[in-house]
Amino acid sequence: MVKVLVPLVDGFEEIEAFTIVDVLRRAGIDVTTAGLAGNIVEGSHGVKVYADDRMLDSDSTNYDAIILPGGPAYKQMIQSQMLNLALHDFLKKGKLIGAICAAPAVLSKAGILKEKRATIYPGMERELDLPRGDRVVIDGNIITSQAPGTAMEFSLAIVKKLVSPAKAEELKKTLVV
C-alpha cells in the first residue's frame, strides 16, 4: 500500500490539509498526518486536530511521498531542520514531494525546486526559481499547486501519480469534480 506523510504545523490551511488527506484516503492511500511540534495542531482558522503522529516519531523512510499543506504555517516549516532533512531524504530517494499554496516556498528555501517548474500562491512567485501561473504544476517527482481553491485538482494529481490515472478519474467522477 502506498504511504503518504502530511506534516501539520500550527497555522496550516484547513481546506488544503483536509482535502489532501480525504482524497488520498479515498484512493486507498495510507495517509499519516504528523504534527511538527506535537499531536494537537491548530489550523489557520481555529480548527484543532489530533495528528496521527509527531514528525519527531515519523521515519521518512516508511513513506512514498510527503505533501505539505500551505497557510501561514509555511514560515514555521521553513525554519524546521527536521522537515528540511525529511524533504532532502525524499528528494534523494526520488520520492514524490508535493506542496500547495505558500508551501512551495518551503521547498524553494530547502533547495528542492532548483531548476524545477512550480507554482505558488499568487503574489509569491518571487519565491520560486521557475514560477508558472498554472493551478497545478508537475515537474518530475514534484507537484505544486496554488491555493485552497486548487486543493481538489492537486489531490487528484497526487492520486494519478501514486496510484493510477484510472483511480484519479474514478474519484473525479465520484466527487463530481
Q: Given this model, what pLDDT does residue 158 score? A: 98
Is 167 contained in some domain?
yes
Domain-embedded: residue 46: yes
Residue 13's SS3 state is: coil
What are the residues facing 119 on neighbouring strands? none
Query: Which amino acid belongs to residue 173?
Result: K
Model pTM score: 0.97
The tens digit of pLDDT for each residue in 14-49 reads 999 999 999 999 999 999 999 998 999 999 999 999
The answer to whether residue 88 sits within a structural domain is yes
Q: How far apart are CA 126 and CA 32, in angstroms?
A: 31
Rounded (10°) CA dihedral 125, 126, 128, 129 = 130
CATH assignment of the domain containing 157: 3.40.50.880
Q: Is 77 inside any structural domain?
A: yes
Residue 149: HSE in the Cβ half-sphere, 13 Å Cα cutoff: 5
With respect to residue 73, please indicate whether it lies within any of the assigned structural domains.
Answer: yes
Q: Please check whether residue 177 lies inside any domain of the structure.
A: no
Confidence at residue 57, expressed as pLDDT on a 0 to 100 scale: 87
Residue identified by cell 503522529 is 53
Q: For position 60, what pLDDT does the model report?
A: 83
> Does the annotation mark 101 as catalytic?
yes
For residue range 108-126, list pLDDT tens digits in order.
999 999 999 999 999 999 9
Catalytic residue among 17, 55, 96, 101, which? 101
pLDDT for 128 equals: 96
Please write the tens of the pLDDT for every residue from 71-107.
Answer: 999 999 999 999 999 999 999 999 999 999 999 999 9
Count Cβ neighbours within 10 Å for each residue of 152-161 and write b for 16 or more, e otherwise: bbbbbbbbbb
pLDDT of residue 61: 87
Domain with 157, as residue range(s), is 3-171
Number of domains into which the chain is organized: 1
122 within a domain of the structure (yes/no): yes
Quote the DSSP letter at residue 171.
H
Tell me 109's DSSP state.
Answer: H
Contact 160, 138 (CB under 8 A): no
For 49, what's the count of Cα atoms within 13 Å in the CB-facing half-sphere? 26
Residue 162 grid coordinates: 501514486
pLDDT number for residue 56 = 87
Task: Please answer whether residues 99 and 67 qualify as being in contact, where contact means their C-beta atoms are separated by less than 8 angstroms.
Answer: yes
d(CA 53, CA 83): 14
In a domain, 50, yes or no: yes
In the prediction, which pLDDT does 123 show? 96
- pLDDT tens-place string over residues 126-175: 999 999 999 999 999 999 999 999 999 999 999 999 999 999 999 999 99
The x, y and z cell numbers of residue 53, run together, are 503522529
